[in-house]
Amino acid sequence: MTEACVRLYCDGGARGNPGPAGAGAVLVAPQGKILGTRSRFLGAATNNVAEYRGVLLGLELARSHGVRRICLCLDSELVVRQLTGQYRVRHPELRRLWTAVHQELKHFSGWEAVHVPRRENRQADRLVNEAVERHATVSGG
């Protein structure tokens, strides 16, 4: 019997590009139950860097839950296509993050990355915005 794939909804975003950025991740069991969420303020970053950092944050969350098979669900078509090898990664910082993601993926027995519409990634997007807003409130920005 094949292990069920746990879905990981990841997102990242910056206010301005670059600008104050955040990452968010939602881990969902095959039956639909939310297993966990995580968010983080990233400081100044571009949208694409924040997207990759969202994936790394989510993979960290998945590993902490002992997940073996993971389905990455992202609303960034660029990141999905880069992770699956359809697009080359030229930017040095994105290349470093791409490498870090692929190193993390080695800890899973299987993985896939799929592009999902923004509406399906609302919870992760909300976590991104909350992380940025929390920081703005704390720092007075």
Task: Based on DSSP, count helices (H) and strands (E) in the chain, helices before strands.
Answer: 4, 5
Residue 139 within any structural domain of the chain? no
Asked whether residue 140 is assigned to any structural domain, the reply reads no
Q: Does 138 reside within a domain?
A: no
Q: Would residue 92 count as lying in a domain?
A: yes
Q: What is the CATH number of the domain that holds 27?
A: 3.30.420.10
Name the residue range of residue 79's domain: 6-133
Q: Quick: pLDDT tens for 39-65.
A: 999 999 999 999 999 999 999 999 999
Q: Is residue 33 part of a domain?
A: yes
CA dist 18 → 4, 33, 92, 105, 112 (Å)? 37, 34, 16, 27, 28
Indicate left, alpha or beta for 106 from its phi (over 0: left) and psi (-120 to 50: alpha). alpha
Contact status, residue 22 vs residue 42, Cβ threshold 8 Å: yes
Model pTM? 0.94
